[in-house]
């Protein structure tokens, strides 16, 4: 394919249908509209790899499965790139995720894929405030001011988008299994005497087997607004057991973050997790007391994915020039966050530690100088070791 032909071709975003352009830095097609990052599909090559299957599947999702099934307004944050979807009666002034005022309206003409299902909010705002206050209270290094701020700061309840991947795996494995046995061995001890002791040995033999397993709901977050590291800390969201079918009623009065997908990353992430788990499951099947050289040949089939929403309470605040997030799982109440550290408290702690060390040194010195100390060597030897290094 010549460059000329390439330049003339238009590529559509598999997620929303808007025009996507080639991004040399990301080596993929990036949708300027919804931010989806997708691998380029060479027009004449058969689909290869999970991400291409996904591109095809996303593109095939019809108009009846798009949109929110209710009127919503959307804004995109120019700072953190999150797209926030809310009721048109509410006027958004700032980004819910980072507090930036640089938000621009997003038109609804490109319609996102409607979620199949969601987890509803279970935690009320009052419980969340209480939880955040207690959480601050347990952060020793947080400036005292923060604890009182938790009462006045705005907390937002937001549905966060996730992709979940299902797949059947069929794997053949082979390994070297090892059984332990013990043999007496003689050796010369420090006094020059011959002694015997029991030595553990391993008898190796080849083994092989087969694993069939269904992966249900491997999660990949599709949020731009919430820090992934924090989100991981408040997981799991019980999507395998508690999901409710999507109904616009659940969204009434609530804000939603619209997904933006890095398809390559999402698909690869899900596949990696499944491969690691397949390896572990096979490893559990290997007979013997131990094993080595495990080789797994896995075949993934019936791969499907879903778009789901999960509830998160979010407190975004700035302290000094930095912005911080505290996130609460709106279903289970798990909490995680970042907070500024008070230098005064850290200095005080360092001083306290130094004074304890100084006291110990003095104590050790006075013990050693006591003339009538019994020749019990052990404690002072430990102290000597500590202080000579
Ligand atoms: Zn798009
Ligand atoms: Zn933002």
| Nearest ligand, CA 83 | 2
* pLDDT level of residue 336 (50, 70, 90 thresholds): very high
Query: Do the Cβ atoms of 39 and 28 come closer than 8 Å?
Result: yes
Tokens 């966050």 map to which residue? Answer: 337
* Average pLDDT score, the chain: 83
CA of 316 to the centre of ligand 2 (A): 10
The CA radius of gyration of the chain, in Å to the nearest whole number, is: 30
Same-domain status, 88 and 133:
yes
Same-domain status, 349 and 329:
no
Query: Do the Cβ atoms of 251 and 201 come closer than 8 Å?
Result: no
- Residue 334 CA, chain-centre distance (Å), reads 14
Same-domain status, 352 and 296:
no
- pLDDT single digits (tens) 217-265: 888 899 989 999 999 999 999 988 899 999 988 888 899 999 888 877 8
Nearest to 329 by CA among 235, 199, 193: 235
Task: Give the DSSP letter string of 103-149.
Answer: EEEE-TTSPPBPPSEEPPP-S-HHHHHHHHHHHHHT-TTS-HHHHHH
- Residue 320 CA, chain-centre distance (Å), reads 27
Helix (H) or strand (E) holding 213: strand 194-221
**386 has pLDDT over 50:** no
**80 has pLDDT over 50:** yes
CA of 164 to the centre of ligand 2 (A): 24
Kindly give, in sequence order, each residue whose CB lies less than 8 Å from that of residue 344, ignoring residues fewer than 6 positions away: none
Which two tokens mark 302?
A: 């019936």
Nearest to 16 by CA among 53, 50, 67, 52: 67
The last residue of one of the domains, among 294, 322, 339, is 339
| Nearest ligand, CA 257 | 2
CA of 80 to the centre of ligand 2 (A): 4
**98 has pLDDT over 80:** yes
48 in a domain, yes or no? no
CA of 217 to the centre of ligand 1 (A): 24
Same-domain status, 162 and 298:
yes
CA of 227 to the centre of ligand 2 (A): 11
Q: What is the DSSP code (8-state) at residue 288?
A: S
Same-domain status, 136 and 262:
yes
* pLDDT level of residue 133 (50, 70, 90 thresholds): confident
Query: Do the Cβ atoms of 95 and 107 come closer than 8 Å?
Result: no
Instruction: Give pLDDT, residue 366.
Output: 78
Q: What mean pLDDT is predicted for residues 79-101?
A: 87
Q: What mean pLDDT is predicted for residues 18-41?
A: 81
61 vs 280, residue with greater confidence: 280
CA of 222 to the centre of ligand 2 (A): 15
Same-domain status, 293 and 350:
no
| Nearest ligand, CA 225 | 2
185 in a domain, yes or no? no
**150 has pLDDT over 90:** no
CA of 129 to the centre of ligand 2 (A): 22
| Nearest ligand, CA 158 | 2
CA of 259 to the centre of ligand 1 (A): 10
| Nearest ligand, CA 80 | 2
Q: Tell me which residues have their CB within 5 A of the ion that is ligand 1.
A: 13, 15-16, 18, 31, 33-34, 36
Same-domain status, 307 and 349:
no
What pTM, to 2 d.p., does this model score? 0.72
Rank 93-97, 137-141, 170-174, 302-306 by mean pLDDT and report only the highest.
170-174
Q: At what angle do helices 263-285 and 49-59 cross, to 10 degrees?
A: 130
Nearest to 87 by CA among 159, 28, 170: 159
Same-domain status, 353 and 225:
no
Helix (H) or strand (E) holding 272: helix 263-285
CA of 269 to the centre of ligand 1 (A): 21
Query: How many domains, in total, are found in the chain?
Result: 2
157 in a domain, yes or no? yes
CA of 33 to the centre of ligand 1 (A): 5
CA of 110 to the centre of ligand 1 (A): 7
| Nearest ligand, CA 92 | 2
| Nearest ligand, CA 35 | 1
376 in a domain, yes or no? no
**155 has pLDDT over 90:** no
Q: At what angle do helices 343-369 and 377-388 cross, to 10 degrees?
A: 130
CA of 88 to the centre of ligand 1 (A): 22
Range of the domain at 351: 341-370
CA of 148 to the centre of ligand 2 (A): 24
Beta-carbon count within 10 A of 298 CB: 18
Beta-carbon count within 10 A of 146 CB: 22
CA of 78 to the centre of ligand 2 (A): 7
Same-domain status, 332 and 229:
yes
Same-domain status, 247 and 291:
yes
Q: Tell me which residues have their CB within 5 A of the ion that is ligand 2.
A: 77, 79-80, 95, 97-98, 100
């Amino acid at each position: 394919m010549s460059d000329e032909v390439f330049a003339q071709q238009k590529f559509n975003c598999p997620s929303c249908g808007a025009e996507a352009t080639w991004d040399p830095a990301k080596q993929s097609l990036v949708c300027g509209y919804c931010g989806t990052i997708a691998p380029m599909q060479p027009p004449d090559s058969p689909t290869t790899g999970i991400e291409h299957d996904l591109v095809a599947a996303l593109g095939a999702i019809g108009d009846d499965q798009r949109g929110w099934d209710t009127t919503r307004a959307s804004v995109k944050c120019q700072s953190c790139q999150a797209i926030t979807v809310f009721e048109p009666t509410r006027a958004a002034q700032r980004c819910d995720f980072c507090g930036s005022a640089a938000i621009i309206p997003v038109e609804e003409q490109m319609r996102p894929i409607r979620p199949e299902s969601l987890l509803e909010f279970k935690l009320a705002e009052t419980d969340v405030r209480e939880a955040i206050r207690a959480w601050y209270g347990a952060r020793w290094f947080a400036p005292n001011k923060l604890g009182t701020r938790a009462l006045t700061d705005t907390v937002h309840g937001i549905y966060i988008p996730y992709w979940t991947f299902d797949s059947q795996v069929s794997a053949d494995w082979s390994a070297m299994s090892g059984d332990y046995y013990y043999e007496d061995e003689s050796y010369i001890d420090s006094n020059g005497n011959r002694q015997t002791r029991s030595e553990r040995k391993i008898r190796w033999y080849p083994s092989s087997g087969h694993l069939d397993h269904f992966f249900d709901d491997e999660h990949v977050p599709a949020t731009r607004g919430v820090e992934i590291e924090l989100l991981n800390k408040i997981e799991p969201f019980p999507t395998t057991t508690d999901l409710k079918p999507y109904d616009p009623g659940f969204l009434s009065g609530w804000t939603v973050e619209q997904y933006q997908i890095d398809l390559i990353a999402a698909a690869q992430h899900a596949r990696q997790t499944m491969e690691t788990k397949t390896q572990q499951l096979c490893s559990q099947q290997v007979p013997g007391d131990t094993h080595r050289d495990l080789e797994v040949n896995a075949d993934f089939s019936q791969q499907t994915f879903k778009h789901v929403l999960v509830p998160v309470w979010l407190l975004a605040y700035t302290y000094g020039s930095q912005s911080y997030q505290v996130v609460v799982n709106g279903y289970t109440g798990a909490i995680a966050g970042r907070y500024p550290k008070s230098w005064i408290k850290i200095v005080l702690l360092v001083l306290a530690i130094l004074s304890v060390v100084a006291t110990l040194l003095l104590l050790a010195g006075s013990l050693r100088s006591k003339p009538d100390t019994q020749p019990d060597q052990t404690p002072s030897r430990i102290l000597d070791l500590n202080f000579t290094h």
